[in-house]
Amino acid sequence: MTYADSLTGVHRAFLEDLFGKDGLSFDPAVLRVYSSDASNEKGDIFAVVRPKDTGQVREFMRWADAERVVVHPRGRGTSLAGGCVPTVPGIVVSMLGMDKLIDISSTDFVAEAEPGLCTAIFQAEVEKRGLMFPPDPASGKATSLGGNVCTCAGGLRAVKYGVTRDYVLGCEIVLPGGQLMKFGGRTQKDVVGLDLTRFVVGSEGTLGIVTKLILKLIPKPEASASVLVGYRSLEDALSSMVKVFAAGILPAAAEFIGETCMEILTRTGECPWPDEVKAMMLFQIDGSRETIGLENARLSRQLDDALWRMEGVGKEEEDRLWAFRRRISAASYVLGPDRMGGDMAVPRGKILPAVRRFEEIAAGNGKRLVAFGHAGDGNIHANLHYDASDPDDAARTAKTHHALDKAVLEFGGSISGEHGGGSLKDVGQQLGDGEHELMLRIRRLFDPNLILNPKKGY
């Protein structure tokens, strides 16, 4: 594919005319920020544009396709997979100028919003009306709804409520060439034609630019309770989850904290558990004010064999427990100033063998694995810390990281449960040749000249 390798004077004049001074930047300092994301990788770009409405996006995409200018759609740039890192120089389209909350309907249980709206702001507005938008990525205060949809973001509550894909009823996207497409709608059910909304969810900006979202809402549970339970080993901790599910309890969240994380937590702050506690589970349940006490007691009975426990009912008390889980990522930097992260998913019953195998691989390369994550949906955060200024350490870490991706496939897993392929993951090792080829053919139907996020996603 041949792309424009710079912007001509005519190109610049077109962009200035379309976006004006406020919606366009060629400033090298600004371009530096927009050519990277939370992965810390970097690329090169010619310009950043910030459309205000769908009309501008359509006009821009018509022009970009005709001129073969590469386009990198961007939300809030929190991708950990390099989803916003330009692999081919082009123009970043920041969607943060389109952040309107269009409608929240308590009768339809539907919201409509522009993609640049911050997830946490949206959730707070929804909750004021007694409703809930369940997808809750840990990064939600810093992400956009469009970014969540295009990565199919998951979160802590996925075990009970599912991931972003389960809450997208419809969307509008602008294709290269400028055509506006409307998929799905405000109905909870719709089986007419192919479900193209599902194609867009998790498409990592490779099919079109999302300009509007129609999202499903549910009633907000009135009450919640959490329990943090300590065990002698990860084996025992994960067994407790099996007991909880076997008792017919579906927790809103079920998180595991592995042995290395426990060591890190005790090294970096006050911890209330005794020394024998080497791994933990954190459960949360939710429901009505009348029943939450009963449900909590039922959950507690399944955890009788825990060495230690701490319970919390209601947000304030629960926050004290969740603070330990939230501390892990930042505290892990005691193991090294740089990080390579994994977000693999395995079938729920394979978490333990997968973590043990990952630890073995890491130890074989002289590395320690930091494993924790969403046990309820088999999603393992497998992080490696290192010192990028030490070439030997950096090489051993990269080698381990690749070996972990390979190993996860042996467990019937996926190399990414949350963050997507982006520009960093070798998705080819997971996707079969035939399936990968079919995806690329579909991509070309949306984007025949492959101007959108080339070499990213899949």
Ligand X SMILES: Cc1cc2nc3c(=O)[nH]c(=O)nc-3n(C[C@H](O)[C@H](O)[C@H](O)COP(=O)(O)OP(=O)(O)OC[C@H]3O[C@@H](n4cnc5c(N)ncnc54)[C@H](O)[C@@H]3O)c2cc1C
Residues that bind ligand X (CB under 6 A): 37-38, 73-80, 83-84, 95, 115, 137-139, 143-144, 146-148, 150-151, 153-155, 204-205, 209-210, 418-419, 453
Cβ 130 to ligand X shortest distance, Å: 25
When CB distances to ligand X are compared, the closest residue is: 147
Angle between helices 259-268 and 315-331 (to 10 degrees): 100
361/415 with CB nearer ligand X: 415
Cβ 87 to ligand X shortest distance, Å: 11
212/367 with CB nearer ligand X: 212
Amino acid identity at 156: L
143/197 with CB nearer ligand X: 143
Phi, psi torsion values for 56, nearest 5 degrees: -65, -40
Q: Rounded to an integer, what distance in angstroms lies between the CA atom of residue 24 and that of residue 49? A: 4
Cβ 77 to ligand X shortest distance, Å: 5
* Strand positions, DSSP E, 121-167: 131-132
79/296 with CB nearer ligand X: 79
Give buried/exposed letters for 284-323 (b at 16+ CB in 10 A, else e): bbbbeeeebeebbeebbebbeebeebbbbeeeeebeebbe
292/346 with CB nearer ligand X: 346
202/258 with CB nearer ligand X: 202
364/428 with CB nearer ligand X: 428
Q: Could you identify the residue written with the tokens 């034609």?
A: 193
Cβ 351 to ligand X shortest distance, Å: 17
169/292 with CB nearer ligand X: 169
The rounded radius of gyration (Å) of the Cα atoms in the chain is 23
Contact present, 345 and 232 (Cβ < 8 Å)? no
Cβ 269 to ligand X shortest distance, Å: 19
Q: Rounded to an integer, what distance in angstroms lies between the CA atom of residue 279 and that of residue 149? A: 33
Cβ 355 to ligand X shortest distance, Å: 18
Q: What is the DSSP string of 248-294?
A: T---SEEEEE-HHHHHHHHHHS---S-TT--EEEEEEEEE-TTTHHH
Distance of CA 455 to the CA centre of its chain: 19
Phi, psi torsion values for 29, nearest 5 degrees: -65, -40
- If one counts every other C-beta atom within 10 angstroms of the C-beta of residue 125, the result is 16
Instruction: Report in angstroms the alpha-carbon separations of 218 from 134, 201, 292, 320.
Output: 8, 19, 18, 27
358/372 with CB nearer ligand X: 372
Cβ 80 to ligand X shortest distance, Å: 5
Contact present, 54 and 212 (Cβ < 8 Å)? yes
Q: Rounded to an integer, what distance in angstroms lies between the CA atom of residue 227 and that of residue 206? A: 41
Cβ 146 to ligand X shortest distance, Å: 3
Cβ 167 to ligand X shortest distance, Å: 13
Q: Rounded to an integer, what distance in angstroms lies between the CA atom of residue 54 and that of residue 352? A: 47
155/251 with CB nearer ligand X: 155
206/430 with CB nearer ligand X: 206
Cβ 213 to ligand X shortest distance, Å: 9
Cβ 143 to ligand X shortest distance, Å: 4
Contact present, 35 and 74 (Cβ < 8 Å)? no
Instruction: Report in angstroms the alpha-carbon separations of 288 from 176, 191, 223, 310.
Output: 47, 33, 6, 22
146/230 with CB nearer ligand X: 146
Q: Are strands 110-113 and 209-216 parallel, antiparallel or unpaired?
A: antiparallel
Q: What is the DSSP string of 14-54?
A: HHHHHHTTTTEE--HHHHHHHTB-TT--B--EEEEE--SSH
Closest CA to 150 of 83, 195, 99: 83
Cβ 73 to ligand X shortest distance, Å: 4
